[in-house]
Amino acid sequence: MKLVLPREHGTWAMFLLPVLLGTFLSSPSFVHVLFIVGWFFLFLSATPMYNAIRMERKRKEMMKWFITYLAFGLIFLIPVILIQPRIVYFSLCLPPLIGVNVYFILEKNERSLWNDFSGIVLFSLGGAATYFLGTKSFTSEMVNLSLYLILYFMGSAFYVKSLIREWKNKKFKWFSHVFHGLLLIPPIFITSMTMSLAYVPNVLKDWFTTRKRRLKPIHIGITEIVNACVFFVLCLLLF
């Protein structure tokens, strides 16, 4: 039986970046390991769950994978809940966000930016949760981290769409350019001007990537992975 895994490079970055930032910007501990492994299996469970909705023929097979991944996720997350019960508050956000994704699957409109936004907010919760586990309290810094992650991934969503699905759309290209330029402004009001520097590589990447020819997805994926690593380091230095 073939493993059911997410195919998009971007989803792996959206899983890893938030939880690693939340961990290293707070106080890393063993409970973070348990949470990240559990969150990883929940992340994996999303693919067969959504595929079960998309593909009726494979629904039975997909549900087996969904239940398997979910079970492994709970094995690691239950100890986290016992150690820090307030972590369950984050789970209250999951149903509406997942519901939005399901809605767009049923409407056959998964390319919608609102669908992307819902997924981005969901993944950013991983950063908030790991930050909470390190500080053991709900703080403004936790919220700020989530906002920074949402802004970063929305920029990535515009960038990738402008290179793949909308690469011939000049209006979308300029919309992406403007959005990336505006990314430098929110940090000034959220925390400090220095945090704006974390978005400079994003802006340069978007502004100077050619749209005259269609780039291969693998090249876009590698660029996004490198950019995520740069953003990670800059956040550790500037947050």
Tens of pLDDT along the chain (239 residues) come to 678 888 877 788 899 999 999 999 999 999 999 999 999 999 999 999 999 999 888 899 999 999 999 999 999 999 999 999 999 999 999 999 999 999 999 999 988 889 999 999 999 999 999 999 999 999 999 999 999 999 999 999 999 999 988 888 889 999 999 999 999 999 999 888 899 999 999 999 999 998 888 888 888 888 999 999 999 999 999 99
112 in the same domain as 46: yes
28 in the same domain as 2: yes
102 in the same domain as 170: no
144 in the same domain as 126: no
Domain extent at residue 78 = 1-137
- Give the pLDDT score at 221: 85
- Rounded CA separation 148/151 (Å): 5
Of 121, 137, 153, the domain-final residue: 137
- Give the pLDDT score at 145: 96
69 in the same domain as 83: yes
- Give the pLDDT score at 132: 97
168 in the same domain as 119: no
115 in the same domain as 48: yes
Amino acid letter at 119? Answer: G
Of 137, 159, 183, the domain-final residue: 137
DSSP single-letter state for residue 185: S
Of 137, 157, 184, the domain-final residue: 137
Number of domains in the chain: 2
128 in the same domain as 34: yes
Task: List all residues 6 or more positions away from 236 whose beta carbon is below 8 Å from its beta carbon.
Answer: 21, 24, 25
133 in the same domain as 143: no
Give pLDDT tens digits for 47-94. Answer: 999 999 998 888 999 999 999 999 999 999 999 999 999 999 999 999
- Rounded CA separation 183/187 (Å): 8
- Give the pLDDT score at 1: 65
Amino acid letter at 165? Answer: R
- Give the pLDDT score at 215: 85
149 in the same domain as 133: no
- The alpha helices in 55-112, defined as continuous H runs, are 59-83, 94-106
Task: List all residues 6 or more positions away from 79 whose beta carbon is below 8 Å from its beta carbon.
Answer: 34
112 in the same domain as 41: yes
76 in the same domain as 3: yes
